[in-house]
Structure 1
Amino acid sequence: MPNISSIHHCYGCSLCATVCSKKIISITLNKNGFYEPTITDTTQCTDCSLCMEVCAFANKELANNDNRPIKSYAAWSKEYAVQRKCSSGGAGYELGRTLMAQGYEVCGVRYNAEAGRAEHYIASTPEELIPAIGSKYIQSYTLDGFCAIDRKRKYLVTGTPCQIDSFRRYIRKFRVEDNFVLMDFFCHSVPSMWVWNKYLRMVEQVTGKVNYASWRNKHTGWHDSWAMGIDGEKTAEKMDWHDSYNLLIREKKSFFNSRLSQGDVFYNLFLGDFCCNRACQKNCKYKYDVSPR
């Protein structure tokens, strides 16, 4: 099999498109709302098979399959503000800014409210890393972020286990593993982007166009954190009488907060496995105590 033309319902990591020298692989949402590769011009394919070699979905074994004993540690940020902002203890953010002090950049994930999606991007300073704080419980679009990586520089790359497994295959092909620190996490799966888009349309009836979203925020406390916090651009307007002038007062921007404990639709669909990727449910190689790192 020379290329990924027959790969469907995969992990959607986009490393096939990243490695393609002809740039003829596009990553788009399939009919079920998950990222999937498509070859846009088969006549330019050179049958190099690099797209298949870096694909974690097409290879049954893990890229880093040395069966080393797993050691566990507990860690959290000493800064309360970081703890408050992060979904858990802030260990990922602290690792990122620690490595930045050693000359690394970070390829992490932020939420792009304009595009309505999570996406990988490059952060070069601790300030630029802030949007990567917090979990994003939707599938991330990786292509732009991965393509922005200069393989001669040093990076911390974070992602789901399948994304990291494919990324290791990619940097191994170019013999640059020593330039990278890879970090994955326990992953439930990814929900359909069509479900997320439908949820946004529902929320926007309250907030107007969404300009910020946070998952697992702590607005309702640490122990009820399966919550959604969404800011919108809609403002309430009212007239007030002051000093003989009618003043138009714009009230605070709208805020939507919803919790699983109160029946949030998105969390119920996602955590109930009603809208998850087929590859996550049937082909995941990284469950339980298996890590691609």
Structure 2
Amino acid sequence: MNNISHIHSCYGCAVCAIACPKKIIDVRLNSNGFYEPYITDGAKCVNCGLCLEVCSYNHSEIALNELPKVSYGAWSKEKSVRHICASGGVGFEIGRYLIGKGYKAIGVKYDVKRAKAEHYVASSVDEFILSMGSKYIQSYTLSGFKGINRKDKFLVSGTPCQIDSLRRYINKMKCSENFVLLDFFCHGVPSKFVWDKYIKEQQDKLGNIDFVSWRNKQNGWHDSWAMTISPSDSGKVVDWYDSYNLLTKVSHPNK
């Protein structure tokens, strides 16, 4: 079959699912806890090969072959943005600017009830605020990427592998002029099963959790491994350093 049925342990970007004209591709966690596409009804496949054409995992070359002309370092001028964001807030500022120009912004938010990072579509700056701060787990892209169409303008933020596949898709659909694609340095992601196990352990100790923040700046900029988890019923947070050692509990600054 000329489809992704033979592809396993890929990047899990789900662009193949939105490219499929028969809508017979879905995404689920594989046995190792990473997102992977699968064919829901092989009998409906027409062997068009679009799913393979847009798949960055299926190509050794990158989709964008232009060398960068110049590079810059930047950060948000707004103190509150810099405080909330994991780095300097540039991603949020680009999104805020483009939303003001009529774009929709597709970023990643964390669903605390399902302990899940997922892409979503923001049509306003208020909606885009949910994307602030990095999430160091694999994102479920399909919920956001399904909102992509060929008539609206979009900013899409994601990892390099996600953006490479998406670039192939919009080039194939001949609508690349409607998109601004934004990726970032990525060092890989842990299994969702590891994250679920960690959250379960914290819930057993602390109760239901209503807030999670990676690289929290409560103790300044230089504790870049600091993580904050806030249980909903205790008014306390857990500061987790270096992903291994539980050091202290402190009062939540917003309580």
TM-score band, normalised by shorter chain: over 0.9
List alignment gaps of at least 5 residues for structure 2: 247-255
Cα distance in 1, alignment partners of residues 14 and 108 from structure 2? 14
After superposition, residues 141-290 of structure 1 pair within 5 angstroms as 141-235=140-234, 252=235, 254-260=236-242, 263=245
Aligned residue number for residue 248 of structure 1:
none
For residue 46 of structure 1, give the secondary structure of its aligned residue in structure 2: coil
Q: Which stretch shifts more, 204-213 or 180-189?
A: 204-213
TM-score (normalizing by structure 2)? 0.93
The residue identity in structure 1 corresponding to 2:105 is V
CA deviation vs aligned residue, 1:2-33 (integer Å, no higher than 9, x gap):
10000001000000111112221110101110
Cα distance in 1, alignment partners of residues 172 and 243 from structure 2? 46
The residue identity in structure 1 corresponding to 2:3 is N
Aligned residue number for residue 129 of structure 1:
128
CA deviation vs aligned residue, 1:190-242 (integer Å, no higher than 9, x gap):
1100000000011112332222211011012111121111122234xxxxxxx
Aligned residue number for residue 25 of structure 2:
25
Aligned residue number for residue 11 of structure 2:
11
Bigger relative contact order (CA 8 A; separation at least 6): 1
The structural deviation recorded for 1:262 is: 6.5
Aligned residue number for residue 59 of structure 2:
59
Cα distance in 2, alignment partners of residues 161 and 193 from structure 1? 19
Cα distance in 2, alignment partners of residues 69 and 44 from structure 1? 42
Aligned residue number for residue 270 of structure 1:
none
CA deviation vs aligned residue, 1:36-82 (integer Å, no higher than 9, x gap):
0111111011101100000000011111123x245221111111111
Structure 1 residues 4, 180: closer, same or farther in 2, change over 3 A?
same
The residue identity in structure 2 corresponding to 1:42 is G
Asked if structure 2 preserves the Cα contact closer than 8 Å seen for 1:100 and 1:125, the reply is yes
For residue 212 of structure 2, give the secondary structure of its aligned residue in structure 1: strand
Asked if structure 2 preserves the Cα contact closer than 8 Å seen for 1:207 and 1:255, the reply is no
The structural deviation recorded for 1:126 is: 1.0
For residue 56 of structure 2, give the secondary structure of its aligned residue in structure 1: coil
For residue 57 of structure 1, give the secondary structure of its aligned residue in structure 2: helix
List alignment gaps of at least 5 residues for structure 1: 236-251, 265-293
Cα distance in 2, alignment partners of residues 178 and 131 from structure 1? 26
1:49 aligns with 2:31: no
For residue 57 of structure 2, give the secondary structure of its aligned residue in structure 1: coil
CA deviation vs aligned residue, 1:138-188 (integer Å, no higher than 9, x gap):
000000100012221001100000000000011111100000000000001
Pair member with larger Rg: 1
Asked if structure 2 preserves the Cα contact closer than 8 Å seen for 1:227 and 1:257, the reply is yes
Structure 1 residues 262, 32: closer, same or farther in 2, change over 3 A?
closer
Cα distance in 1, alignment partners of residues 132 and 205 from structure 2? 26
Task: Quote the sequence identity (%).
Answer: 54
Query: What is the RMSD computed on CA atoms of the aligned residues?
Result: 1.4
Cα distance in 1, alignment partners of residues 180 and 238 from structure 2? 36
